[in-house]
Amino acid sequence: MNIIIDEKRDLPALLKDRLRILLHKVGVDRAVLLGILARLWNVIAAPVSLLFIAYKFSPQLQGYYYTFYSVIAFQFLLELGLSHIIIQFTSHEWSGLSLDKTGKIIGEQKALSRMQSLAQIFFRWYYITSIILTLSLIIGGYFFFSRSINAGINWMLPWFFLCICNGVAFCLIPIWSLLEGCNQVSKLYAYRIVQGIFLSLSLWISIMLGAQLWSAAISNAVVLICAGAFLRYKCRGFLNTLLFSKPASPSVKWHKEILPLQWRFTIEALIGPFAYTLFVPVLFKYHGPVIAGQMGMTWCIATMLISIACSWLNPKIPQFGMLIAKKRYEELDKLFWRTTKIISAVGILGAVVIWFMFYLLNEIKHPLATRFLPLLPTGLFLVSQIILIIGTPFSAYLRAHKKEPLLFVSVGAGISIGLSTLILGRYYSAVGMAAGYLLANLLFVPIVLLIWYYCRKKWHKDENADAISFYNNIATKKRIGIDFDNTIVTYDNVFHKYALKAGLISHELEKSKQAVRDAIRSLPNGNDRWTELQGLVYGKYIDEAEPMQGVEDFLKACKENSFKISIISHKTVYPALGSRVNLQAAAKKWLINKDFLSRFDLRESDIIFEETLKGKLDQIAIKGCGYFIDDLAEVLAHPDFPKGVKKIRYNKSSDKDFSGDITCVEDWHGIKEYFFG
């Protein structure tokens, strides 16, 4: 237990909580922070690797090293953007699933079956493709490099080994996408930090020890070892559930569901990279290697700006898909707009800082300034990146619906950028190229925003209102909705036990949640200590909680009298403070362990946990509840509480000072009598 009465802990704990609040305000959760750290490591490690290569490799060896990776980069011709499709599809299915304590996937059987089918389809595709890719690279690379002047360089075995390592890594791409689509982004991004560190260290050590071209193969082999350890010890249950369990019907139909999206992504994946890869070669051909080198360095900085800004967006994309699958559009839009504002601000601030740094380098006439483009084309490229950053969340929002309405926009933008680069870059050098790139973004990004507005209006048109109206009109009065915390389950003994263990209360204090809460809140920093204790009780120690006295008899009577039950509760996924435990999954597991589903004819789809009160109220209407039982009067008295649903307050205190349309009953025996006499 971390909750102790120790005044020495108050200041560090307070500072830690204040930092957490500050990060929350700027949209930095654990996943975003890890994503930023991973990118920062790459920013730091890249120039160090360049220095090692420049210092230890001859010019010929350096040429082979970078050509190795340039040839391998052609694997995008076989990857075809499928990793993005995996994320979109899995995020939708994940809305009905979660992980148990062992890391295995639990939840709705239909969603699990489709997820298993999806995972196995894509893994087979990548497995077969990785074999084709590896053989193609080995054979094609052999003919390519054997016809080059090798200057006595031993390239063949390092190349073969690098191709094999790359083939294995290619085969793992669907696993990373599955983890991201299943909202395991924090776990994945933490691994990417470790992977980046081991990749860099192994490369540097190999170069220092004189491994020459073997350095590339060795560093990739180390990454595969890291990947194997991570998947074995952190994702074993996850992978066993998805890849080694036979899916029950229904399954995903490739031709009907995936192919209509895949061919669009394929075209975009083929056209997009070519447009951007023309920048440096065009300048090299028409204006020489010096300005081409300046373009390469400047473009690295420009792409880094987008990469850092999108650290706020990428962890949210799986959440977009999950909210869309649940038709929680209001919550989706709130998350979208908040994320869009943050990454736009980060992009604008980052561009200003970068340009100002270049300005200072030029003002003080630092030699490094000559390695980048002049201030005018640099500024044009940075403004273009700002526009692109602003438009990126809108594209992600649309694609999270498992649709691709931006195909022609993407193709048009790619062709426009490619043509402007070839024409303007030839006659007007970097300034013309940057101007063409800016004009293309000024033209096509607003089109993306218009398509977003049209599609959002069409796809979401009154869907929530229609569903609520529909279910309210047909709702039978024989469906009862019930809250979970402190209505079905009691935590009184659990709160008392662990508050006592932590030294927060005296042994004589009454064993009730309210008494424990009031006692802890009266302590220094009491609100935070109470919040942390709640996270522990609702998560790690929920197995020790017990059903409310009489609730099982009531549910049995409901089953005997053909009443349907929906458990609908307002519960965040993770606690605000303390250990990061999935509270919704813990609560669902408690119901399963207590055998509520089989004993009372409950389906997993009848157990609903919403992160917002608005979501809970919508679900009461959508499920067609004729009655709703809750221990909180403020829920039942909420102005948005669905009309026509009878309100019953489970109220042990016998407090009846609330509006007349709320029926207060002291215990479950009274509620049973209310329904069945």
pLDDT in tens, 57-95: 777 777 777 777 767 877 777 777 788 888 888 888 887
Cis, peptide link before residue 446, omega less than 30° from 0: no
476 — pLDDT class (breaks 50, 70, 90): very low
Q: Is the pLDDT of residue 605 over 90?
A: no
- Residue 510: inside a domain, yes or no? no
- Residue 76: inside a domain, yes or no? yes
- pLDDT of 146 reads 80
- Residue 619: inside a domain, yes or no? yes
Q: Which of 51-60, 353-362, 508-517 has the lowest mean pLDDT?
A: 51-60
Mean pLDDT of the chain: 83
State the average pLDDT over residues 191-198: 92
Please state, in angstroms and as integers, the Cα–Cα distance from residue 511 to each residue in 466, 556, 630, following that order: 46, 28, 21
451 — pLDDT class (breaks 50, 70, 90): very high
Q: Is the pLDDT of residue 255 over 70?
A: yes
- Residue 13: inside a domain, yes or no? no
Report yes or no: 355 and 382 within 8 Å, Cβ to Cβ.
yes
Residue closest to 447 by CA, chosen among 394, 523, 399, 485:
394
Q: Report residue 648: phi and psi, to 5°.
A: -125, 125
Do 163 and 65 share a domain, yes or no? yes
Q: Is the pLDDT of residue 266 over 60?
A: yes
Report yes or no: 596 and 546 within 8 Å, Cβ to Cβ.
no
Do 444 and 486 share a domain, yes or no? no
pLDDT in tens, 399-415: 888 888 988 898 899 89
d(CA 528, CA 526): 5
Choose between 144 and 625: higher pLDDT.
625
- pLDDT of 354 reads 92
Buried b vs exposed e over 237-261: b needs ≥16 C-beta within 10 Å? ebbebbeeeebeeeebeeeeebeeb
Q: Tokens representing 667? A: 């215990």
- Residue 191: inside a domain, yes or no? yes
- pLDDT of 477 reads 58
Write down the number of H helices and E strands in the chain: 28, 10
Q: Which domain holds residue 82?
A: 29-252
Any residues with CB less than 8 A from the CB of 230 and at least 6 apart, and which?
A: 191, 194
Q: Is the pLDDT of residue 495 over 80?
A: yes
Q: What angle do CA 147, 148, 150 make, to 5 degrees?
A: 120
Do 658 and 573 share a domain, yes or no? yes
- pLDDT of 172 reads 93
- Residue 11: inside a domain, yes or no? no
State the average pLDDT over residues 310-329: 83
Q: Is the pLDDT of residue 596 over 60?
A: yes
User: What percent of the chain lies above the pLDDT cut of 70?
Assistant: 90
d(CA 513, CA 490): 9
467 — pLDDT class (breaks 50, 70, 90): very low
Q: Which of 87-91, 326-330, 552-556, 582-586 has the lowest mean pLDDT?
A: 326-330
Q: Is the pLDDT of residue 381 over 90?
A: yes
User: What percent of the chain lies above the pLDDT cut of 90?
Assistant: 28
Do 200 and 247 share a domain, yes or no? yes
- Residue 41: inside a domain, yes or no? yes
Do 618 and 668 share a domain, yes or no? yes
- pLDDT of 162 reads 92
Query: Residue 48, CB half-sphere, CA atoms under 13 Å: how many?
Result: 15
Q: Is the pLDDT of residue 184 over 90?
A: no
- Residue 563: inside a domain, yes or no? yes
Q: Which of 329-338, 426-435, 468-477, 563-572 has the lowest mean pLDDT?
A: 468-477
- pLDDT of 569 reads 92
d(CA 233, CA 242): 16
Do 180 and 123 share a domain, yes or no? yes
Report yes or no: 588 and 573 within 8 Å, Cβ to Cβ.
no
Three-state DSSP class for 149?
Answer: coil
Three state DSSP letters for 554-606:
HHHHHHHCCCEEEEEEECCCCCCCCCCCCHHHHHHHHHHHCCHHHHCCCCHHH
Pick from 217, 252, 287: which residue ends a domain? Answer: 252
1 — pLDDT class (breaks 50, 70, 90): very low
Residue closest to 80 by CA, chosen among 146, 132, 151, 138:
132
Do 210 and 280 share a domain, yes or no? no
Residue 450: CB atoms within 10 Å: 11
Q: What angle do CA 275, 276, 277 make, to 5 degrees?
A: 95
Do 279 and 355 share a domain, yes or no? yes
504 — pLDDT class (breaks 50, 70, 90): confident
Q: Is the pLDDT of residue 468 over 50?
A: no
d(CA 169, CA 578): 36
Do 219 and 311 share a domain, yes or no? no
pLDDT in tens, 195-243: 999 999 999 999 999 888 899 899 999 999 999 999 998 888 888 888 8
Do 486 and 432 share a domain, yes or no? no
Give the total number of structural domains in the chain: 3
Query: Residue 212, CB half-sphere, CA atoms under 13 Å: how many?
Result: 14
- pLDDT of 25 reads 64
- pLDDT of 80 reads 73
State the average pLDDT over residues 647-651: 87
Do 338 and 373 share a domain, yes or no? yes
Do 304 and 410 share a domain, yes or no? yes
Pick from 441, 461, 481: which residue ends a domain? Answer: 461
